[in-house]
Structure 1
Amino acid sequence: MDDVAGAIADPVRRQVLEMLRDEGPLSAGQIAERFSISRPAVSRHLRVLRGSGLVRDELVGRQRFYELDASRLTPLTRWLTGFDRPTGWEHRLDALETEVHRTRRERRTDRPEENTA
């Protein structure tokens, strides 16, 4: 999980992951041409992503193609989800909102109907 967290800490690497998610396998050249940084810098980012297991590569002729392996994100996603649970205050506010709606509904139904005759 630490390797994955370290890999996605960099905005360039996150952008590479998004490209691979949205477009599927891409060659190293296709990835590099979308950045203003040097090709060796992009290559280093791809090496980090490959080392963390977030991307797989395949050599086809003289080109290396990269593909996303999102399964490596699962442990980190599970861990992060634990922080997204409602706090005690959120539960209390939800209960308060429910009570306000119930009270308003009861007041509407308790009003005597006006005689329009």
Structure 2
Amino acid sequence: MSDNNQSRDVFDAIADPTRRRLIQLLSETEETPLHELTVKFDMGRTAVSKHLNILKEAGLVVDRKVGRETRYRLNAAPLQQIQDWVAFYSRFWSTNMLRLNELLVEEEEE
């Protein structure tokens, strides 16, 4: 758990394609009401709301009430954890591919 009191792992939160789509939709706007998000999916308002709550638990989504409406916005900061993880393995594979290339070049020269 990070400093922003996340109660759900970010990797777990983005594991579902619906939640990744919600993140994408929220990244395209400053703030979106639940009813506008719901029409983008073949599921009911309750199901979309459950996915948003999982994203909220991971710190990826912030909501606020405006009258009877709930509006959601993306908080992309926790995605940095994923970027850091991917960057580590990107460096890992780049280094190992470079080593493999060096070995292959050495073999060709022999």
Instruction: Please say whether Structure 1 and Structure 2 have the same fold, judged by a TM-score greater than 0.5.
Output: yes
Please tell me whether residue 58 in structure 1 is matched to residue 72 in structure 2: no
Match of 2:108 in 1: none
* Aligned counterparts of 2:89 and 2:37: Cα–Cα separation in 1: 33
Match of 2:52 in 1: 46
Structure having the higher Rg: 1
Q: May I ask how many residue pairs the two structures share in their alignment?
A: 97
How far did 1:9 drift?
0.2
How far did 1:89 drift?
3.0
Unaligned runs of 5+ in 1: 98-117
Match of 2:31 among 25, 28, 44: 25
Match of 2:76 in 1: 70
Q: Which runs of 4+ in 1 moved over 2 A?
A: 87-97
Match of 2:96 in 1: 88
* Aligned counterparts of 2:102 and 2:64: Cα–Cα separation in 1: 51
TM-score (norm 2): 0.78
Match of 1:9 in 2: 15
* Aligned counterparts of 1:91 and 1:23: Cα–Cα separation in 2: 44
Amino acid paired to 1:8:
I
Amino acid paired to 2:96:
G
TM-score (norm 1): 0.74
SS state at 1:82 partner: helix
How far did 1:93 drift?
2.8
How far did 1:92 drift?
5.0
* Aligned counterparts of 2:52 and 2:102: Cα–Cα separation in 1: 45
The CA deviation string for residues 69-113 of structure 1, in whole angstroms up to 9 with x for no partner, is: 00111122112210001133335537989xxxxxxxxxxxxxxxx
Match of 2:85 in 1: 79
Considering fraction of residues, name the structure with more helix: 1
* Aligned counterparts of 2:69 and 2:99: Cα–Cα separation in 1: 54
RMSD: 2.1
Percent identity of equivalent pairs: 35
